């Protein structure tokens, strides 16, 4: 499982405050702890700072870099911030995210190629969100083909089925799971990722819902996720699900985690 | 989700002791608590008593019956015990279990029809266990057809893909999940069930593995399970997974469980 640690995100109050106060120690501690907990990439998002996002993002990246060598995921709605971020991020960065919206796609693909970045490919086009899950799959399918045609290696493409709250429609859970499964079937070389915390929006005990959803998605072929790696039960659920999905030979990663005390208190 | 509560099983030391000592209060308390926690059936197994299984089973059934009206699941490797059990069990009983082994099949089908019981249909035939998961599916498929031909209503058939420990082969988890999915696709009217605790045999933190596996199986269409209904996190995982699978309109069961305090302490 490839993991993007999601915690350094300015839309979270604590992070916004730390960035405004230039509290480098707070940000650096989060970067270190996420990497130590198993994050393969550390996400950095300054999107809450509309007018000076680029400046804030540069400070955040430089701050994280002083503390950790973990590769970064540059997370922004604004192409200018993504460009500035990728320039600073160094090797093996993630572009989070591209969509099939024409303007966004055309602006970001050259950056993707220039920096040889991996990319979260969100299933969304210019017609906007839809309830029709077949349409969501078709958009993902088209986006994969377009990225491949433009020279992005399949194993750099991480398709996200655009997770929406299951509290608003019962179809959003199973529908997203089926999209993950269809991509596994039809595009074996690309990765599947979920920015999954949206799934539980509006429900009580959101962590439980997120943990259960990630296990279900792993059954369908999910092989990466944007999560809170400091949630021990989330990490334990992923380890157990990977063993059950036949992706952990002799359950060695699961058993090792238990020996290291990482499954403490898990009943 | 239809739930068989598995706790009154004589292969568990405490139960064996309670039956030997005719400790009716202990057995009755377990029956009541399982039904209150959401078990639709209470399993009764006297299989550990080889020589006097029938007598012990009769005592267990009568004892449970004094405490609870919950329908029973009669669980035995021996047809004589199953017959005695079904005779006493009353309406809506479960026969746990039939297989495609010829002798067992021919002996049990008449009982199934006589008592109009539901049945756990285990994917096992006279050729014994196999590593070939396509073969396991084929046995399940053949058993479903044979039961239907013999007059068992499809919605009384609960297919169990014969869960084996994922610690012994990485294929046993994902293989069983795929069988559940194939039955969902090809036999829409029959139920899928798992006696799932075998999946975690030999691993640490077995409850965690069981909880994660049930969520993955629900993604594939599992609609019933033989579990410990007194494990609050197992019940919570099932509720969350059902909401995520689109089987809980407006997430009402999940939200109600939270209001009733049943998700207490879940992250």
pLDDT at B50: 87
- B171 chain-A contacts, CB cut-off 8 A: 246
CA–CA separation, B45 vs B131, rounded Å? 28
Structural contact between residues A238 and B186, judged by C-beta atoms closer than 8 angstroms:
no
**Chain A contact for B265 (CB, 8 A cutoff):** no
**Assigned token pair, A75:** 């997370």
Closest chain B CA to residue A248: B170
pTM greater than 0.90: yes
Mutation to test the A interface, candidates B197, B251, B252, most A Cβ within 10 Å: B251
H/E stretch holding A186: helix A171-186
How far away is chain A from the Cα of B58, in angstroms, using its nearest Cα? 34
Fold classified for A2-233: TIM Barrel (3.20.20)
CA–CA separation, A260 vs B206, rounded Å? 17
Interface of A with B in 133-192 (CB under 8 A): 166-167, 170-171, 173-175, 177
Q: If we measure between CA atoms, which residue out of B6, B237, B160 comes closest to residue A241?
A: B237
pLDDT tens for each residue of chain A, 267 residues long: 999 999 999 999 999 999 999 999 999 999 999 999 999 999 999 999 989 999 999 999 999 999 999 999 999 999 999 999 999 999 999 999 999 999 999 999 999 999 999 999 999 999 999 999 999 999 999 999 999 999 999 999 999 999 999 999 999 999 999 999 999 999 999 999 999 999 999 999 999 999 999 999 999 999 999 999 999 999 999 999 999 999 999 999 999 999 999 999 997
How far away is chain B from the Cα of A65, in angstroms, using its nearest Cα? 31
Closest chain B CA to residue A169: B250
Q: Report the residue from A204, A215, A244 with minimal CB separation from B255.
A: A204
Q: Do B258 and A205 touch (CB under 8 A)?
A: yes
B43: helix, strand or coil: strand
Interface of A with B in 181-240 (CB under 8 A): 199, 203-209, 211-213, 215-220, 231, 233, 236-237, 240
Structural contact between residues A39 and A75, judged by C-beta atoms closer than 8 angstroms:
no
Longest dimension (CA), chain A: 52
Q: Note the pLDDT tens digit of each residue in B123-137.
A: 999 999 999 999 999
Q: Do B170 and A233 touch (CB under 8 A)?
A: no
| Buried-state track B19-41, b at ≥16 Cβ within 10 A, e below 16 | beeeebebbbebbeebbebbbbb
Q: Report the residue from B208, B246, B258 with minimal CB separation from A204.
A: B258
**Chain A contact for B78 (CB, 8 A cutoff):** no
Q: Note the pLDDT tens digit of each residue in B156-212.
A: 999 999 999 999 999 999 999 999 999 999 999 999 999 999 999 999 999 999 999
- A175 chain-B contacts, CB cut-off 8 A: 246
Residue boundaries of the structural domains of chain A:
2-233, 234-267
How far away is chain B from the Cα of A83, in angstroms, using its nearest Cα? 36
H/E stretch holding B31: helix B24-36
- A241 chain-B contacts, CB cut-off 8 A: 212, 216
- Dihedral sign, Cα of residue A175, residue A233, residue A44, residue A71: negative
- A211 chain-B contacts, CB cut-off 8 A: 267
How far away is chain A from the Cα of B70, in angstroms, using its nearest Cα? 28
Q: Report the residue from B166, B207, B254 with minimal CB separation from A244.
A: B166
- A171 chain-B contacts, CB cut-off 8 A: 246
pLDDT at A267: 75
pLDDT at B108: 98
Distance of CA A261 to the CA centre of its chain: 26
DSSP conformational letter for B102? H
Mutation to test the A interface, candidates B194, B243, B256, most A Cβ within 10 Å: B243
Q: If we measure between CA atoms, which residue out of B23, B43, B24 comes closest to residue B228?
A: B43
Structural contact between residues B60 and B46, judged by C-beta atoms closer than 8 angstroms:
yes
Q: Do A244 and B205 touch (CB under 8 A)?
A: no
Q: Do B243 and A213 touch (CB under 8 A)?
A: no
CA–CA separation, A147 vs A135, rounded Å? 18
Q: Report the residue from B170, B243, B245 with minimal CB separation from A246.
A: B170
Q: Within 13 Å, how many C-alpha atoms sit on residue A70's CB side?
A: 29
Q: How many other C-beta atoms are found inside a 10 Å radius of the C-beta of residue B198?
A: 16
Q: If we measure between CA atoms, which residue out of B122, B124, B68 comes closest to residue B95?
A: B122
Q: Do B216 and A211 touch (CB under 8 A)?
A: no
Residue A153 — φ and ψ, nearest 5°? -65, 140
């Amino acid at each position: 499982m490839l993991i993007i640690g999601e915690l350094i995100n300015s839309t979270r109050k604590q992070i916004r405050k730390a960035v405004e106060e230039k509290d480098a120690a707070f940000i650096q501690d989060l970067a270190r702890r996420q990497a130590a907990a198993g994050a393969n990439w550390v996400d950095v998002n300054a999107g809450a700072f509309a007018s000076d996002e680029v400046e804030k993002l540069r400070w955040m990246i430089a701050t994280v870099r002083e503390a950790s060598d973990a590769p970064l995921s540059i997370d922004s709605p604004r192409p200018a911030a993504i460009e500035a971020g990728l320039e600073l991020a160094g090797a093996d960065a993630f572009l989070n995210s591209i969509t099939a919206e024409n303007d966004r796609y055309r602006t970001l693909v050259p950056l993707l190629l220039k920096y040889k970045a991996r990319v979260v490919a969100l299933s969304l086009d210019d017609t906007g969100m839809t309830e029709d899950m077949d349409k969501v799959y078709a958009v993902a399918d088209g986006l994969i083909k377009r990225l491949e045609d433009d020279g992005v290696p399949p194993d750099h493409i991480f398709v996200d089925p655009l997770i929406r709250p299951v509290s608003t429609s019962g179809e959003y859970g199973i529908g997203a799971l089926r999209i993950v499964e269809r991509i596994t079937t039809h595009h074996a070389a690309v990765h599947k990722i979920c920015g999954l915390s949206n799934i539980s929006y509006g429900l009580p005990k959101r962590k439980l819902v997120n943990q259960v959803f990630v296990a279900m998605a792993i059954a369908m072929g999910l092989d990466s996720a944007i999560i809170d790696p400091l949630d021990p039960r989330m990490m334990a659920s992923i380890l157990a699900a990977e063993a059950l999905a036949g992706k952990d030979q002799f359950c060695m990663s699961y058993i090792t985690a238990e020996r290291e005390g990482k499954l403490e208190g898990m009943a």
